[in-house]
Structure formats: C-alpha cells, structure tokens
Amino acid sequence: MTELTTTAAQPVASGRWTIDCTESTATFAVRDLGRTVNGSVPVSSGEICFDRDGRLVSVCGTVDLAAIDTGNQRRDKDLRNPRFLDLDTHSSARFVADEITPDSDGWAVAGTLTMRGTPVPVCFHAHRDPEVSGLVVRAEARVDRREFGIRAPRVLIGHTITMRISATLVPAP
C-alpha cells in the first residue's frame, strides 16, 4: 500500500480498511419525556476504502440493535417491541454509502441506512480524528425516527435521533 493523505497532515494508506469492532462505538441520543436519552449499540462489522489518491471511496457498516443499551432495562425491553425497533424481526441496522464528497474537514457520506427493514437516505458528516494515533473516523448524522416507521407521540419520544460512530480501522488482511 502506498502512503497517501486525506489532508496535508493526515497520511492514509490506500486500500481496504476494516472496522475493529472491539475498539469502535455506535451511540445515539433522542429526547424522551423532555430529557435526552443516550444509548449505545455494538458495531458488528464495517469497511472503508481509500483510492490511490487518498480519497475515501466506499463505506459500509452494521450495528447490532439487539444489544441496545440505554441504561434502563425496561426502556431497552420496550424498544424490542414491533412498534419501536421490532428487534425480534430486525436485529441489526446497516449503512451503505452511495456518494462521498470531500468537505472542509472530512467528508459528507450520503447513503442508505436500513433499519426495521426500511431503507432511508441518510447523510453522515465524517472526519478523521487527528487526536489519536492510527486511523479513527468519527461520523454523525441525524434522522427522523418516523421515516423508519417508529411511531410514538412526540411528547414521549422526539422525532430526531442523533447517531454517532467512532470507527477504529485496521488494514484489511
């Protein structure tokens, strides 16, 4: 692999990189009864590819929704319900990028997030974390839960879910 750069200060080797699931996190935040609820789900797989010029060219990843953790067992059990995440039928969510555009400090990564069997267009803003050694990419997106068919009165659960990913990458074998 040839050493290339995504910015002048951040060399990246071209090729395929896989997500180290033990070092990566997927978190979310949503309003619930007037306060913000934070939660996490394990990252179960993912891959990012850079071309010979250091451009990000593909992104995909999967999270394990069945292992959702909001810090409240009753809430986590409720989220399994078909009215919410329907986890007995759809235990994971998957994102696949369709278009990647460089921006001022990273990339706009537009693609499809499939959750509850429903594909929804989503755009993540992603950047390489310059504060850590190795290759760590952080990304954030906001989605409206109603697009996935998750229905509840807004007074109970806010419409907007903020998703954050911190992906530690290692060269693919």
Burial class of 152 by CB neighbour count within 10 A (0 to 12, 13 to 18, 19+): middle
pLDDT at 1: 31
CA angle (144 as vertex; 142, 145 as ends), nearest 5 = 120
pLDDT in tens, 4-47: 334 434 568 889 999 999 999 999 999 877 789 999 999 999 99
The percent of residues in the chain predicted with pLDDT above 70, rounded, is 92
* Cβ neighbours of 10 (radius 10 Å): 14
Query: pTM of the predicted model, to two decimals?
Result: 0.89
Question: Percent of the chain having pLDDT more than 90?
Answer: 72
Contact 122, 99 (CB under 8 A): no
**158: containing domain:** 3-171
CATH number of domain containing 95? 2.40.128.110
Q: Contact at 8 Å (CB) between 80 and 72?
A: no
Amino acid found at 71 = G
Q: Look at residue 162 and give its three-state secondary structure.
A: strand
Residue 82, pLDDT > 60, answer: yes
Over residues 37-76, the pLDDT tens digits come to 999 999 999 999 999 888 899 999 999 999 999 999 999 9
Report whether 116 contacts 90 (CB < 8 A). yes
Count Cβ atoms below 10 Å from residue 109 Cβ, excluding itself.
24
How many structural domains comprise the chain? Answer: 1
